[in-house]
Amino acid sequence: MTAPTARPWIEAYAPATISNLGPGFDCLGLAVHGPGDTVRARRCDEPGARLLKITGDGGRLPLGAAENTACVAVTAMLEALGHGPGSSRPLGVELELDKGLPLGSGLGSSGASACAALVAAARALDLEVGSDVLIDAAREGERVACGTAHPDNVAPAILGGVVLIANTEPLRVIPLPAPDSLFFAVYTPGCEVRTADARAVLPSAVSLGAAVRQSARLGLLVHALHTGDLALLGEAVTDDIVEPARAHLIPGFVDAKVNALEAGALACTISGAGPTTFAMSGDEQRAHALLEILDETFTHAGVPGKGRVEQVGPGARVTSRPLN
Protein backbone atom coordinates (compact mmCIF):
# COMPACT_ATOMS: atom_id res chain seq x y z
CA MET A 1 0.00 0.00 0.00
CA THR A 2 1.40 3.37 -1.03
CA ALA A 3 1.88 5.90 1.78
CA PRO A 4 0.01 9.18 1.33
CA THR A 5 2.06 12.03 -0.15
CA ALA A 6 2.97 14.67 2.39
CA ARG A 7 1.35 17.98 1.64
CA PRO A 8 3.80 20.87 1.27
CA TRP A 9 4.23 23.68 3.71
CA ILE A 10 4.03 27.19 2.26
CA GLU A 11 5.70 30.04 4.12
CA ALA A 12 4.65 33.69 3.89
CA TYR A 13 5.77 36.91 5.53
CA ALA A 14 3.89 40.11 6.38
CA PRO A 15 5.66 43.32 7.35
CA ALA A 16 5.38 45.72 10.24
CA THR A 17 3.24 48.74 9.50
CA ILE A 18 3.07 52.34 10.67
CA SER A 19 -0.47 53.67 10.87
CA ASN A 20 -2.25 57.01 11.35
CA LEU A 21 0.80 59.05 10.24
CA GLY A 22 -0.38 62.05 12.22
CA PRO A 23 -3.75 63.24 10.90
CA GLY A 24 -4.82 59.97 9.25
CA PHE A 25 -6.39 58.16 12.21
CA ASP A 26 -7.72 54.79 11.00
CA CYS A 27 -7.34 55.79 7.35
CA LEU A 28 -3.57 56.03 6.63
CA GLY A 29 -0.87 53.42 6.89
CA LEU A 30 2.37 52.25 5.35
CA ALA A 31 4.44 49.08 5.25
CA VAL A 32 8.13 49.01 6.13
CA HIS A 33 10.81 46.57 5.00
CA GLY A 34 11.13 44.64 8.26
CA PRO A 35 10.78 42.99 10.66
CA GLY A 36 7.49 41.11 10.41
CA ASP A 37 5.56 37.92 11.14
CA THR A 38 5.97 34.59 9.33
CA VAL A 39 3.31 31.90 8.88
CA ARG A 40 3.60 28.39 7.42
CA ALA A 41 0.48 26.77 6.00
CA ARG A 42 -0.44 23.41 4.50
CA ARG A 43 -3.66 21.86 3.27
CA CYS A 44 -5.34 19.34 5.57
CA ASP A 45 -8.45 17.15 5.40
CA GLU A 46 -10.25 18.66 8.37
CA PRO A 47 -12.31 21.69 7.22
CA GLY A 48 -11.46 25.12 8.59
CA ALA A 49 -8.26 26.64 9.95
CA ARG A 50 -6.16 25.20 12.80
CA LEU A 51 -3.17 26.82 14.45
CA LEU A 52 -0.71 24.11 15.47
CA LYS A 53 1.92 26.22 17.22
CA ILE A 54 3.17 29.74 17.89
CA THR A 55 6.77 30.76 18.46
CA GLY A 56 8.22 34.12 19.41
CA ASP A 57 5.30 35.24 21.59
CA GLY A 58 6.54 33.99 24.96
CA GLY A 59 3.46 31.79 25.29
CA ARG A 60 1.07 34.76 25.45
CA LEU A 61 -1.08 34.23 22.37
CA PRO A 62 -4.01 31.78 22.16
CA LEU A 63 -4.03 28.81 19.79
CA GLY A 64 -7.81 28.64 19.61
CA ALA A 65 -9.25 29.06 16.12
CA ALA A 66 -11.79 31.61 17.34
CA GLU A 67 -9.24 33.62 19.34
CA ASN A 68 -6.08 33.95 17.26
CA THR A 69 -6.06 36.57 14.50
CA ALA A 70 -4.35 34.24 12.03
CA CYS A 71 -7.05 31.57 12.27
CA VAL A 72 -9.91 34.07 12.40
CA ALA A 73 -8.67 35.79 9.24
CA VAL A 74 -8.20 32.54 7.30
CA THR A 75 -11.61 31.29 8.40
CA ALA A 76 -13.16 34.57 7.20
CA MET A 77 -11.43 34.18 3.84
CA LEU A 78 -12.63 30.59 3.42
CA GLU A 79 -16.19 31.59 4.24
CA ALA A 80 -16.08 34.57 1.87
CA LEU A 81 -14.96 32.25 -0.95
CA GLY A 82 -17.56 29.57 -0.21
CA HIS A 83 -15.07 27.11 1.32
CA GLY A 84 -16.04 27.38 4.99
CA PRO A 85 -16.60 24.34 7.21
CA GLY A 86 -20.37 24.44 6.66
CA SER A 87 -20.21 24.84 2.88
CA SER A 88 -20.57 22.26 0.12
CA ARG A 89 -16.89 22.74 -0.82
CA PRO A 90 -15.06 22.95 2.51
CA LEU A 91 -11.31 23.33 2.67
CA GLY A 92 -8.94 22.86 5.57
CA VAL A 93 -5.55 24.33 6.41
CA GLU A 94 -3.03 23.99 9.23
CA LEU A 95 -0.95 26.97 10.34
CA GLU A 96 2.25 27.65 12.27
CA LEU A 97 2.95 31.22 13.36
CA ASP A 98 6.33 32.76 14.17
CA LYS A 99 6.02 36.20 15.77
CA GLY A 100 8.71 38.56 14.60
CA LEU A 101 6.88 41.62 15.95
CA PRO A 102 6.41 42.49 19.61
CA LEU A 103 2.88 42.43 21.00
CA GLY A 104 1.18 45.71 21.79
CA SER A 105 3.85 47.69 19.95
CA GLY A 106 1.93 49.90 17.54
CA LEU A 107 3.55 48.17 14.55
CA GLY A 108 0.50 46.21 13.41
CA SER A 109 1.53 42.98 15.14
CA SER A 110 -1.91 41.34 15.10
CA GLY A 111 -2.49 42.47 11.54
CA ALA A 112 0.83 41.04 10.37
CA SER A 113 -0.10 37.62 11.76
CA ALA A 114 -3.43 37.72 9.96
CA CYS A 115 -1.97 38.87 6.65
CA ALA A 116 0.89 36.36 6.62
CA ALA A 117 -1.59 33.59 7.40
CA LEU A 118 -3.91 34.64 4.59
CA VAL A 119 -1.17 34.75 1.96
CA ALA A 120 0.29 31.42 3.06
CA ALA A 121 -3.10 29.70 3.27
CA ALA A 122 -4.25 31.02 -0.10
CA ARG A 123 -1.15 29.62 -1.78
CA ALA A 124 -1.32 26.30 0.11
CA LEU A 125 -4.94 25.87 -0.98
CA ASP A 126 -4.32 27.04 -4.58
CA LEU A 127 -6.83 29.87 -4.20
CA GLU A 128 -6.82 33.04 -6.29
CA VAL A 129 -7.84 35.73 -3.83
CA GLY A 130 -8.23 39.43 -4.55
CA SER A 131 -6.64 42.02 -2.29
CA ASP A 132 -10.01 43.36 -1.12
CA VAL A 133 -11.03 39.90 0.11
CA LEU A 134 -7.68 39.48 1.86
CA ILE A 135 -7.94 42.88 3.56
CA ASP A 136 -11.54 42.34 4.67
CA ALA A 137 -10.63 38.90 6.06
CA ALA A 138 -7.64 40.37 7.90
CA ARG A 139 -9.92 43.02 9.39
CA GLU A 140 -11.92 40.24 11.05
CA GLY A 141 -8.70 39.20 12.77
CA GLU A 142 -8.27 42.78 13.96
CA ARG A 143 -11.81 42.74 15.33
CA VAL A 144 -10.86 39.81 17.56
CA ALA A 145 -7.56 41.38 18.58
CA CYS A 146 -8.78 44.82 19.60
CA GLY A 147 -12.55 44.99 19.15
CA THR A 148 -12.45 47.10 15.98
CA ALA A 149 -12.07 45.91 12.38
CA HIS A 150 -9.79 48.80 11.46
CA PRO A 151 -7.97 48.43 8.11
CA ASP A 152 -5.09 50.90 8.47
CA ASN A 153 -2.54 48.22 9.38
CA VAL A 154 -3.77 45.26 7.34
CA ALA A 155 -4.30 47.22 4.10
CA PRO A 156 -0.65 48.32 3.82
CA ALA A 157 0.47 44.92 5.16
CA ILE A 158 -1.26 43.28 2.18
CA LEU A 159 -0.62 45.88 -0.53
CA GLY A 160 2.67 47.38 0.62
CA GLY A 161 3.60 51.03 0.23
CA VAL A 162 1.50 53.89 1.59
CA VAL A 163 -2.28 53.56 1.45
CA LEU A 164 -5.32 55.71 2.14
CA ILE A 165 -8.50 53.95 3.22
CA ALA A 166 -11.14 56.05 1.48
CA ASN A 167 -14.07 53.90 2.61
CA THR A 168 -14.63 50.76 4.64
CA GLU A 169 -18.16 49.70 3.62
CA PRO A 170 -17.51 48.81 0.86
CA LEU A 171 -13.75 48.77 1.19
CA ARG A 172 -11.87 51.24 -0.98
CA VAL A 173 -8.10 51.54 -0.64
CA ILE A 174 -6.05 54.10 -2.57
CA PRO A 175 -2.29 53.55 -3.01
CA LEU A 176 -0.20 56.70 -2.51
CA PRO A 177 3.34 57.39 -3.73
CA ALA A 178 6.26 57.36 -1.30
CA PRO A 179 9.36 59.54 -1.83
CA ASP A 180 12.53 57.48 -2.21
CA SER A 181 14.38 59.89 0.10
CA LEU A 182 11.99 59.39 3.04
CA PHE A 183 13.46 57.63 6.08
CA PHE A 184 11.88 56.70 9.40
CA ALA A 185 13.66 56.31 12.73
CA VAL A 186 11.30 53.75 14.28
CA TYR A 187 11.71 53.07 18.01
CA THR A 188 9.70 50.72 20.22
CA PRO A 189 10.11 51.58 23.93
CA GLY A 190 10.19 48.79 26.49
CA CYS A 191 6.55 49.11 27.45
CA GLU A 192 3.30 47.83 25.99
CA VAL A 193 0.11 49.63 25.00
CA ARG A 194 -2.93 47.50 24.23
CA THR A 195 -4.87 48.78 21.23
CA ALA A 196 -8.11 48.54 23.19
CA ASP A 197 -6.64 50.70 25.96
CA ALA A 198 -5.33 53.24 23.47
CA ARG A 199 -8.77 53.50 21.88
CA ALA A 200 -10.47 53.82 25.25
CA VAL A 201 -8.74 57.15 25.98
CA LEU A 202 -9.81 58.81 22.72
CA PRO A 203 -12.28 61.69 22.89
CA SER A 204 -15.85 60.81 21.96
CA ALA A 205 -16.29 64.18 20.23
CA VAL A 206 -14.03 66.93 18.88
CA SER A 207 -14.66 70.56 18.07
CA LEU A 208 -15.46 71.69 14.55
CA GLY A 209 -12.24 73.70 14.48
CA ALA A 210 -10.14 70.65 15.41
CA ALA A 211 -11.87 68.56 12.74
CA VAL A 212 -11.19 71.22 10.11
CA ARG A 213 -7.49 71.45 11.03
CA GLN A 214 -7.12 67.68 10.97
CA SER A 215 -8.83 67.45 7.57
CA ALA A 216 -6.61 70.18 6.15
CA ARG A 217 -3.49 68.36 7.35
CA LEU A 218 -4.65 65.10 5.83
CA GLY A 219 -5.16 66.83 2.49
CA LEU A 220 -1.74 68.45 2.79
CA LEU A 221 -0.16 65.06 3.57
CA VAL A 222 -1.62 63.45 0.44
CA HIS A 223 -0.48 66.42 -1.66
CA ALA A 224 3.03 66.26 -0.15
CA LEU A 225 3.34 62.56 -1.00
CA HIS A 226 2.26 63.17 -4.60
CA THR A 227 4.70 66.07 -5.04
CA GLY A 228 7.52 64.53 -3.00
CA ASP A 229 7.75 67.65 -0.86
CA LEU A 230 9.23 66.42 2.41
CA ALA A 231 9.01 69.79 4.15
CA LEU A 232 5.26 69.88 3.50
CA LEU A 233 5.01 66.26 4.57
CA GLY A 234 6.64 67.07 7.88
CA GLU A 235 4.23 69.97 8.36
CA ALA A 236 1.28 67.68 7.64
CA VAL A 237 2.27 64.92 10.09
CA THR A 238 0.74 66.74 13.04
CA ASP A 239 -2.09 65.44 15.20
CA ASP A 240 -3.96 67.58 17.71
CA ILE A 241 -6.67 65.00 18.44
CA VAL A 242 -5.37 61.45 18.94
CA GLU A 243 -1.73 62.01 19.93
CA PRO A 244 -2.47 64.28 22.92
CA ALA A 245 -4.98 61.75 24.24
CA ARG A 246 -2.48 58.88 24.05
CA ALA A 247 0.80 60.58 24.93
CA HIS A 248 0.49 59.84 28.66
CA LEU A 249 0.34 56.09 27.92
CA ILE A 250 3.94 56.18 26.68
CA PRO A 251 6.60 57.17 29.25
CA GLY A 252 9.07 59.60 27.71
CA PHE A 253 7.12 60.25 24.52
CA VAL A 254 6.69 64.01 24.97
CA ASP A 255 10.42 64.50 25.63
CA ALA A 256 11.32 62.18 22.76
CA LYS A 257 9.23 64.22 20.35
CA VAL A 258 10.69 67.53 21.52
CA ASN A 259 14.24 66.20 21.29
CA ALA A 260 13.72 64.72 17.82
CA LEU A 261 12.20 67.91 16.43
CA GLU A 262 15.00 70.01 17.93
CA ALA A 263 17.50 67.68 16.23
CA GLY A 264 15.95 68.32 12.82
CA ALA A 265 13.28 65.66 12.40
CA LEU A 266 10.66 66.55 9.81
CA ALA A 267 8.04 65.20 12.20
CA CYS A 268 7.75 62.85 15.18
CA THR A 269 4.63 61.09 16.41
CA ILE A 270 3.13 57.80 17.60
CA SER A 271 2.74 54.80 15.31
CA GLY A 272 -0.76 53.40 15.62
CA ALA A 273 -1.75 52.82 19.23
CA GLY A 274 1.88 53.07 20.35
CA PRO A 275 4.21 52.87 22.12
CA THR A 276 6.32 52.76 18.94
CA THR A 277 7.36 56.28 18.02
CA PHE A 278 8.76 57.36 14.68
CA ALA A 279 10.72 60.39 13.53
CA MET A 280 10.92 61.29 9.85
CA SER A 281 13.90 62.56 7.88
CA GLY A 282 14.93 63.12 4.30
CA ASP A 283 18.45 61.94 5.07
CA GLU A 284 19.52 58.45 6.12
CA GLN A 285 22.39 59.59 8.35
CA ARG A 286 20.14 62.03 10.17
CA ALA A 287 17.59 59.26 10.62
CA HIS A 288 20.24 57.17 12.40
CA ALA A 289 21.08 60.16 14.60
CA LEU A 290 17.38 60.58 15.41
CA LEU A 291 17.19 56.92 16.34
CA GLU A 292 19.99 57.43 18.87
CA ILE A 293 18.11 60.40 20.33
CA LEU A 294 14.93 58.38 20.70
CA ASP A 295 16.90 55.59 22.36
CA GLU A 296 18.56 57.97 24.81
CA THR A 297 15.29 59.68 25.69
CA PHE A 298 13.25 56.54 26.26
CA THR A 299 16.11 54.92 28.17
CA HIS A 300 16.26 57.98 30.43
CA ALA A 301 12.49 57.60 30.94
CA GLY A 302 13.02 54.04 32.17
CA VAL A 303 11.65 52.21 29.12
CA PRO A 304 14.67 51.29 26.98
CA GLY A 305 13.69 49.44 23.82
CA LYS A 306 14.79 48.74 20.28
CA GLY A 307 14.67 50.60 17.00
CA ARG A 308 15.83 50.73 13.44
CA VAL A 309 15.88 53.03 10.44
CA GLU A 310 13.25 52.06 7.91
CA GLN A 311 11.84 53.01 4.54
CA VAL A 312 8.50 52.26 2.93
CA GLY A 313 8.46 48.62 1.82
CA PRO A 314 6.43 45.93 0.05
CA GLY A 315 3.49 43.98 1.43
CA ALA A 316 2.87 40.37 2.42
CA ARG A 317 4.34 37.72 0.18
CA VAL A 318 5.21 34.04 -0.12
CA THR A 319 8.81 33.57 0.94
CA SER A 320 9.41 29.87 0.29
CA ARG A 321 9.21 27.19 -2.26
CA PRO A 322 7.03 24.29 -1.18
CA LEU A 323 8.52 22.59 1.91
CA ASN A 324 7.68 19.00 2.83
Please state the domain extents for the chain: 10-176+312-318, 183-310
CA angle 230, 226, 165 (to 5 degrees): 105
pLDDT tens-place string over residues 180-223: 999 999 999 999 998 889 999 999 999 999 999 999 999 999 99
What pLDDT does 6 receive? 61
Query: May I ask the CATH architecture of the domain 183-310?
Result: 2-Layer Sandwich (3.30)
What is the 3 state secondary structure string of the chain?
Answer: CCCCCCCCEEEEEEEEEEECCCCCCCCEEEEEEEEEEEEEEEEECCCEEEEEEEECCCCCCCCCCCCCHHHHHHHHHHHHCCCCCCCCCCCEEEEEEECCCCCCCCCCHHHHHHHHHHHHHHHHCCCCCCHHHHHHHHHHHHHHHHCCCCCCCHHHHHHCCEEEEEEECCEEEEEECCCCCCEEEEEECCCCCCHHHHHHCCCCCCCHHHHHHHHHHHHHHHHHHHHCCHHHHHHHCCCCCHHHHHHHHCCCHHHHHHHHHHCCCCEEEECCCCCCEEEEECCHHHHHHHHHHHHHHHHHCCCCCEEEEECECCCCEECCCCEC
Q: Which residues of the chain have pLDDT under 50?
A: 1-4
User: What's the pLDDT score for residue 322?
Assistant: 53
pLDDT of residue 232: 98
Mean per-residue pLDDT over the chain, rounded: 94
Enumerate the known binding-site residues for ATP: 102-112
Domains 10-176+312-318 and 183-310 share a fold: no
Residues of the binding site: 102-112
**pLDDT given at position 3:** 45
pLDDT (tens digit per residue) in 133-180: 999 999 999 999 888 888 999 999 999 999 999 999 899 999 999 999
pTM: 0.94
Overall fold of domain 10-176+312-318: Ribosomal Protein S5; domain 2 (3.30.230)
